[in-house]
Structure 1
Amino acid sequence: METFAARLASFDSVVPAINSRTSSSRNIQPQRWVWESPSPEQLAHAGFYFQPYETNPDNTMCFLCGRALDGWEEG
């Protein structure tokens, strides 16, 4: 996943949606994101690629440090 093309292509994969997501009982304030809606190109340029799991169907990972981000919301 070191090349931009490989990271960008990872966002084209199709993953079956999971309908149920549990919500935490904690009241967590969302952080402000500078992008209204990051595109696959923006995520790939930032070093992320799409790596979904059954429990995290919207998971993205940084190719350099391995940091995973999930829980994306439409908007």
Structure 2
Amino acid sequence: MADLFENNRNYVLGDPELDLIGDRDKLALWRHKNMGPAFYKLGRKVIYRGADLNAWAEACRVDPALRSKS
């Protein structure tokens, strides 16, 4: 899979690239519920690593060809 995010980059809330997976409120809800991509919490700053975002996106991938037919 082509990476959706730059692996060697850190993303912070407000970076437009994060809008690809959800807005600020959705990301906050996921963090509260221990869902979504891995992140770092440094004081009040939330940081997402590009490699973690790509790993999470790959885990969410659905391949219709592999889905069982009912």
TM-score bucket (shorter structure)? under 0.3
- TM-score by structure 1 length? 0.25
Structure with greater contact order relative to length (CA < 8 Å, sep ≥ 6)? 2
